[in-house]
Amino acid sequence: MSIPRQAVKYVISGGLAVVANLVVLYVLTELFGIWYITSAAIAFVFAFFTSFTLQKLWTFEDKGMTFVHRQIIRTVGVTTVSLGVNVVGIYFLVTKLGMWYMLAQIIILGLIATASFFVYKYLIFTSNNNS
């Protein structure tokens, strides 16, 4: 599959994961009365697995289940590194360059999403993922 087509699927999958996160957060907090911090943590985990499943099976069309545990662990690693890059990046852009925090976040998220796409494509969701 071509990279542009995969990139579109990647963005759609990510968008669906964001929607899943927001729906779970809202339902747990507003309908079930769960504390919003607890709801946010549960929603994050739900969105993580939503994203993982969509990226694996639809975006990168990796149907193999042999290495799924390794792929989950690697995806957790990418997510953790992305969080660190996000925090450091937004801090730098806002405090050192005087950028508006929302613009800084958009820029950092764009960079992280782009880098993550290639990490997922070439290191995590490969048809030959036995390393």
Q: What is the DSSP letter of 34?
A: -
Looking at the structure, do residues 46 and 96 belong to the same domain, yes or no? no
Domain closes at, from 61, 84, 100: 61
What is the rounded end-to-end Cα distance, in angstroms, of the chain?
A: 22
The model's pLDDT over 63-117, given as tens digits with 9 standing for 90+, comes to: 999 999 999 999 999 999 999 999 999 999 999 999 999 999 999 999 999 999 9
Q: Are residues 34 and 91 in the same domain?
A: no
Question: What's the domain count of the chain?
Answer: 2
Query: Same domain for 2 and 26?
Result: yes
Instruction: Please tell me what DSSP assigns to residue 127.
Output: T
2 has pLDDT over 60: yes
pLDDT band at 127; cut points 50, 70, 90: low
Among the candidates 61, 80, 107, a domain finishes at: 61
pLDDT value at position 1?
Answer: 80
pTM, rounded to two decimals: 0.85
5 Cβ partners below 8 Å, 6+ apart?
none
Domain edge (last residue) among 41, 61, 81: 61
